[in-house]
Structure 1
């Protein structure tokens, strides 16, 4: 089966399973979404949503965040992975946003902010500004490989491969659908590919054998 044929079938399955795609990170503005996405690196969305209420009560605008000491920010996010580094980045990013006059949907600008990489910028562009983007994290990268949609060795190439397989107007929902599917049916570890609704037919026999040995 061609990649394009697989992608079409997988897209139909994902649309049926997840007709709506709410953003799993709690937020009330472009800025609070950006902060939540930054915090989610190497941390579960559930943990981020447990931590952000207290953080946003103290500072839910760049101006308020820039006024906090790094130590205060770190104390508020201490349960988050990489809290010391993230606290420094949150303070620096807030200062940059204030100096620039606010957030705006500009790729170069967003990716110039402290702690904001391409994936984080992509989430903000897609889920707040509604601009077509396909954020790819390690989870989507893994599923794309399992399903035979990409042989890429890095998330950057996987993003390009997936963008080529699905229409631009589906990108913003598709990346969330894949994340939701991974959480419900396709975990990273101890996964029986033969019992998975997609892996069972989309994964190669070689891939199934390799993961069975893990």
Structure 2
């Protein structure tokens, strides 16, 4: 492996923006290679999804699934998790980073869901963001995944892919989010979050992007993509 590949993260925004004419082909090719544009978090209800997404902050989906499997088997409603109490909840999620803060937020969120929302997960951004531990990204995931709303949750993978390919360049998560929503065709917007996150997780990786296996290599504006063709 070359020295450039070892040390270059390839996260610098490209010098050129992906042309408008290439945006639709970009998503058509992702759609042709990603059969199931869905979250890898395991859940069976909107409430379970909300809790899993709160837990996923600065944690992998795999680690969250390991914790929520046993948790949801015994407590998968606001009332049941609230009954566990903060200490009881910690026993199930202590393998996840920041579990102390997350347990506190989840208990508060469960209490608010019971008191203010009849134990149902709300379907609007303001109501979701008012819940403890729910920021803009978490709200976007729930609105998109659970309710099919055309939102874009920009995580580390999507921020990298958007900047690297020229699809949506920006120095902040919010700037990238707004550009993505503006540029993505209406018929792809609901699934775009998962297309991009899965592409970033398995192909357009941070240090060693697998450009040789990339379905959107022709459209991608990453100026160093030729260096990674053999990966």
Q: Shared fold by TM > 0.5?
A: yes
Secondary structure of the corresponding residue to residue 47 of structure 1: helix
Determine if contact 1:194/1:200 at 8 Å carries over to the other structure: no
**What does residue 161 of structure 1 align with?**
179
CA-atom RMSD in angstroms = 2.2
Q: Which stretch shifts more, 169-178 or 81-90? A: 169-178
Name which structure has the greater RCO, CA cutoff 8 Å, separation 6+: 2
Give the TM-score normalised by the residue count of structure 2. Answer: 0.83
Within-5 A mapping of 1:130-141 = 130-141=148-159
Partner residue of 2:30?
14
Task: Quote how far apart the aligned CAs of 1:24 are.
Answer: 1.3
Which has the larger helix fraction? 1
Query: Which residue number corresponds to residue 126 of structure 1?
Result: 144
SS state of the match for residue 145, structure 1? helix
- Deviation of the 1:196 alpha carbon: 4.1
Decide whether the 8 Å contact of 1:39 with 1:80 is kept in 2.
yes
Q: Equivalent residue of 2:131, what SS?
A: coil
* TM-fit CA distance, 1:108: 0.5
Q: Which residue of 2 aligns with 1:53?
A: 69
Is 1:173 matched up with 2:191?
yes
Q: Which residue of 2 aligns with 1:89?
A: 105
Which deviates more, 182-191 or 9-18? 182-191
Unaligned runs of 5+ in 1: none
Gaps of 5+ in 2: 1-16
Residue 81 of structure 2, aligned match among 59, 65, 83: 65
Match of 2:167 in 1: 149
1: CA distance, partners of 2:178 / 2:185? 12
Q: Per-residue deviation at 1:105?
A: 0.5
Distance 1:8 1:18 in 2: 15
Q: How many residues are treated as equivalent by the alignment?
A: 210
